[in-house]
Chain A
Amino acid sequence: MRPENYQPVEHPASHEYELYFGPNHPGIEGNYALKLRLSGDEVLSATADGGYLHRGFEKLMEERLWIQNVALVPRICVPDPVPMEETYAHCVEMLGGLEVPERAQWIRVLMLELSRICAHIFTFGGNSATIGQYSTMFWGISERDLILDIFEEITGGRVYHMYITPGGVRRDLPDGVLERIAAVLDDIETRLPEYDDLFFDNPVFMRRSQGIGKMTPEQALAWGVTGPNLRACGLPFDLRRDDPYLVYDQLEFDIPTDTEGDIYARTLVRRSELLQSFRIVRQVLERLPSITGPIRCPLPNPLAWNIPKGSAYARTESSKGELGFYAVSDGGSKPWRVHVRGASSMHAVQVLENLCKGARLEDVAQIMFSLDACPPEVDR
């Protein structure tokens, strides 16, 4: 006989469970973790759990001279280091009132766009590897290697260049490098149709990516999405055009957009951006020989370089979105505070959490890779 006030105890449905996705997981970029609450294969909620790659860059920068930080910033995001150098240099130039010579500006644009090509190719690779197709990844790595050779020739470093310094660039271009860059670009462009066959037009990939990880333009704006992820929702916002820095206002390029806002749209937007970067680099290669002059403005002794009191925020369009550096100087030889606004910190936290909701377990890794979230940039 049940008592009058009997109420059945509500057990949590037994098919609900928690799965720790990361921090060491092949489906996660870098060291990053997601705490997933699943019902069967469906994700009920996802909680981002970062911090595994926190190396304390912002604090480290306070301990170093303005010029020493040039060696530190590219290490913030491994696959796309050049925008970090550029943004930091830009920030210091704003604080110190330095004028960058024209030739240095063109060289910087060249480096930035080559880096964007590298980063986008790398992203395709990651995107395909998460769904078990490693060929695109290895092909992409071999293409990236050609560009890394160019970087090595220009800067001496393959991944971390430390090339863009406040006031200009570290050294001038070697002889004949422009022709070699043109050759590499032609080489990569002729192979793009093969990537279409293998990856972009692959029916299995389309089935795995269309309509998955979808966000509306309103959601994208509310979550602070920038870069290709925002443009895939149909909002043509690009700092290179909307807040031009360096010589981007003298260059012709389109801003590719898509309307769907799903994984496939993000991938296609990146693919179109690749072509726009080719276009920009070709224009730079055309203009660069006619621009002569110094590559660096004269700096005071960098070891005793005191920057006047003040603060500045510089932002550029990295391959992942808006990258910002906010630096405060107290008039000393070291920054008083530097803050890095990495685009990935929005993409890998609130965007990823929200997009994973309702997705299936298999889609989680793909959503993360399609957002191009870079955990080192999130944790810094």
Chain B
Amino acid sequence: MLLSFASLAVGLFLLLAALLITLIQLPDKILILGLIVTVPVLLLMVAYLTYAERKIIGYIQIRIGPNRVGPRGGLQPIADAIKLMFKEIILPRTSNRFLFISAPILAMAPALAAWAVVPFAKDWVFSDINAGLLYILAMTSIGVYGVIIAGWASNSKYAFLGALRSAAQIVAYEIAMGFALVGVLMASGSLNLSAIVEAQAGKFGFFSWFWLPLFPLFVIYFISGVAETNRAPFDVAEGESEIVAGFHVEYSGMLFAVFFLAEYLNMILISALTAIMFMGGWLSPFVGTPIEVWFSWVPGVVWFFGKTAFFLFLLLWFRATFPRYRYDQIMRLGWKVFIPITIVWLLVVGVFILAELPPWFSIEGGI
């Protein structure tokens, strides 16, 4: 039952993704049109991610989840969006009004902008820039300003605590994340996301992707991604039973919804990036193997979104099963465990490259 619902959610996700892709494929001159359509589709993906989350976690917790609005509750996210749009936006009297309103925008904009360099499939990317990886790092880091400003402008103790925690957490995990990406950069020899995916094509399909030689970096990157998106078990910035909702405790209506959208967009982004950096992006798991031809009819974008959906499912699964770490324990994990491991593994990757370890780093397969 759980699996059928997970696959239902994945299917919905893929459907929307396909819609998005057909729009992106348009020629350059109507790129603007593509963008205009892409953003709402991304937001719709977020909406159905919340539905998938509620359904999957519901089934893990022996509940049904939303089942009233539309068939099997399928229109619930739409109803929620309408509700949030019509709710009053309450501005606390003691808040800084300008910052209070601009904070959600600051959180949302980078979460959307980062998608500009994400290759959905071969040549299906808005902006195929050479510094894609740096751009991604820059964009994901800017998002924290929204959180900090929200906590500061609310002028509430709970919100301020949440913002402080979020800031410290992102500093700690950004470093581990950056080092993990340096490993990818060394292995692929490029900062361009499309080139990173291309570098993973090898003779052994699934096993020639970077997740195997960079396994510790892969795990650390994904966990840091969870921490950076403030998801369970690292959701101390909005720890419900401790600081109520953290930085967005004073927000209501659409302003709150924008924070919510940013969080879910970041979830999808982190999952997509993990798929690109370590799981071969749009590559078929059988590329280079004899049975590759059996799956040659599957468009790359399906593999890409399938992998993304897998990581998204992991995020939801974490949320249902892990208790929240304490804030100081998260800091310890970030600074004392993850950063040393990544640094050590970078040296190992260097040795791999010098030794031209096949199949990943041999001349014909790797760089």
Q: Is B324's CB within 8 Å of the partner chain A?
A: yes
Q: How far is the CA of A204 from the CA of B319 in the complex (A)?
A: 13
Look across to chain A and name the residue whose beta carbon is closest to the beta carbon of B241: A27
Look across to chain A and name the residue whose beta carbon is closest to the beta carbon of B322: A204
- Per-position contact with A for B230-250: 1 when CB-CB < 8 Å, else 0? 001101100111111000000
Q: How far is the CA of A133 from the CA of B319 in the complex (A)?
A: 7
Look across to chain A and name the residue whose beta carbon is closest to the beta carbon of B233: A204
CB pair B241 A131 closer than 8 Å: yes
Quote the shortest CB–CB distance from B63 to chain A (angstroms).
Answer: 6
CB pair B327 A362 closer than 8 Å: yes
CB pair A362 B61 closer than 8 Å: no
Chain A interface mostly: helix
Q: Is A135's CB within 8 Å of the partner chain B?
A: yes
Quick one: which of A26, A135, A205 contacts B320, CB cutoff 8 A? Answer: A135
Q: How far is the CA of A366 from the CA of B328 in the complex (A)?
A: 16
**B contact residues around A142 at 8 Å (CB):** 62
- Per-position contact with B for A24-44: 1 when CB-CB < 8 Å, else 0? 011100000000000001000
CB pair B241 A129 closer than 8 Å: yes
Q: Is B323's CB within 8 Å of the partner chain A?
A: yes
**B contact residues around A133 at 8 Å (CB):** 320-324
With known contacts A138-B61, A138-B62, A360-B328, A205–B239 Cβ distance under 8 A: no
Look across to chain A and name the residue whose beta carbon is closest to the beta carbon of B232: A132
Q: Is A223's CB within 8 Å of the partner chain B?
A: no
Q: Is B157's CB within 8 Å of the partner chain A?
A: yes
CB pair B328 A131 closer than 8 Å: no
Q: For chains A and B in complex, what number of residue pairs have CB atoms within 8 angstroms?
A: 81
Quick one: which of B60, B240, B323, B329 contacts A202, CB cutoff 8 A? Answer: B323
- Per-position contact with A for B317-348: 1 when CB-CB < 8 Å, else 0? 00011111111110000000000000000000
**A contact residues around B161 at 8 Å (CB):** 361
With known contacts A132-B233, A132-B235, A208–B240 Cβ distance under 8 A: no
User: Could you tell me which residues of chain A, from 150 to 206, have a CB within 8 Å of some CB in chain B?
Assistant: 198, 202, 204-205
CB pair A204 B325 closer than 8 Å: yes
CB pair A27 B62 closer than 8 Å: no
**B contact residues around A204 at 8 Å (CB):** 233, 322-325
CB pair B239 A128 closer than 8 Å: no
**A contact residues around B236 at 8 Å (CB):** 362
CB pair A135 B321 closer than 8 Å: yes
Look across to chain B and name the residue whose beta carbon is closest to the beta carbon of A207: B329
Q: Is A365's CB within 8 Å of the partner chain B?
A: yes
Quote the shortest CB–CB distance from B365 to chain A (angstroms).
Answer: 38
**A contact residues around B324 at 8 Å (CB):** 131-133, 204, 208
Quick one: which of A138, A205, A361 contacts B323, CB cutoff 8 A? Answer: A205
Quote the shortest CB–CB distance from B27 to chain A (angstroms).
Answer: 47
Chain B interface mostly: helix
Quick one: which of A19, A139, A205, A366 contacts B61, CB cutoff 8 A? Answer: A139
Look across to chain B and name the residue whose beta carbon is closest to the beta carbon of A138: B61
Quote the shortest CB–CB distance from B104 to chain A (angstroms).
Answer: 22
Quote the shortest CB–CB distance from A31 to chain B (angstroms).
Answer: 15
Q: How far is the CA of A365 from the CA of B63 in the complex (A)?
A: 25
**B contact residues around A273 at 8 Å (CB):** none
- Per-position contact with A for B36-75: 1 when CB-CB < 8 Å, else 0? 0000000000000000000001001111000000000000
CB pair B63 A138 closer than 8 Å: yes
Query: Number of residues in A with C-beta < 8 Å to the partner?
Result: 31
Quote the shortest CB–CB distance from B338 to chain A (angstroms).
Answer: 16
Look across to chain A and name the residue whose beta carbon is closest to the beta carbon of B157: A19
**A contact residues around B320 at 8 Å (CB):** 133-135
Look across to chain B and name the residue whose beta carbon is closest to the beta carbon of A27: B241
Quick one: which of A132, A135, A202 contacts B239, CB cutoff 8 A? Answer: A132
**A contact residues around B326 at 8 Å (CB):** 207-208, 360, 362-363
User: Could you tell me which residues of chain A, from 334 to 380, have a CB within 8 Å of some CB in chain B?
Assistant: 360-366
Q: How far is the CA of A139 from the CA of B326 in the complex (A)?
A: 24
User: Could you tell me which residues of chain B, from 292 to 307, have a CB within 8 Å of some CB in chain A?
Assistant: none
Q: Is A319's CB within 8 Å of the partner chain B?
A: no
**B contact residues around A202 at 8 Å (CB):** 322-323
Q: How far is the CA of A131 from the CA of B325 in the complex (A)?
A: 8
Look across to chain B and name the residue whose beta carbon is closest to the beta carbon of A366: B241
CB pair A134 B61 closer than 8 Å: yes
Look across to chain B and name the residue whose beta carbon is closest to the beta carbon of A133: B323
CB pair B323 A132 closer than 8 Å: yes
CB pair B240 A132 closer than 8 Å: yes
CB pair A362 B323 closer than 8 Å: no
Quote the shortest CB–CB distance from B328 to chain A (angstroms).
Answer: 7
Q: How far is the CA of A41 from the CA of B161 in the complex (A)?
A: 9
**A contact residues around B57 at 8 Å (CB):** 134
Q: Is A229's CB within 8 Å of the partner chain B?
A: no
Q: Is A87's CB within 8 Å of the partner chain B?
A: no
**A contact residues around B233 at 8 Å (CB):** 132, 204
Quote the shortest CB–CB distance from B236 to chain A (angstroms).
Answer: 7
Q: How far is the CA of A289 from the CA of B244 in the complex (A)?
A: 51
**A contact residues around B235 at 8 Å (CB):** 132
Q: How far is the CA of A27 from the CA of B161 in the complex (A)?
A: 16
Q: How far is the CA of A137 from the CA of B321 in the complex (A)?
A: 11
Q: Is A226's CB within 8 Å of the partner chain B?
A: no
CB pair B240 A26 closer than 8 Å: yes
CB pair A135 B325 closer than 8 Å: no
**A contact residues around B329 at 8 Å (CB):** 207-208
Q: Is A130's CB within 8 Å of the partner chain B?
A: yes
CB pair B157 A208 closer than 8 Å: no
**B contact residues around A25 at 8 Å (CB):** 241, 244
Quote the shortest CB–CB distance from B194 to chain A (angstroms).
Answer: 38
Q: How far is the CA of A364 from the CA of B323 in the complex (A)?
A: 15
CB pair B61 A135 closer than 8 Å: yes
Quote the shortest CB–CB distance from A205 to chain B (angstroms).
Answer: 5
CB pair A17 B157 closer than 8 Å: yes
**B contact residues around A364 at 8 Å (CB):** 242
Which residues of A come within 8 Å of B, CB atoms?
17, 19, 25-27, 41, 128-135, 137-139, 142, 198, 202, 204-205, 207-208, 360-366
Q: What are 12 A-B residue pairs whose CB atoms fall within 8 Å in the complex?
A: A132-B239, A133-B321, A134-B57, A135-B61, A198-B321, A207-B326, A208-B324, A361-B243, A362-B239, A362-B242, A362-B326, A363-B326
Extra A-B contacts (17), CB below 8 Å, given A132-B232, A133-B320, A137-B61:
A26-B240, A27-B240, A27-B241, A41-B327, A129-B241, A131-B324, A132-B241, A133-B323, A135-B60, A139-B61, A204-B322, A205-B323, A207-B326, A207-B329, A208-B323, A360-B328, A362-B242
> Which 5 A-B pairs have CB atoms at the shortest separation, nearest pair first?
A27-B241, A132-B324, A138-B61, A131-B323, A133-B323
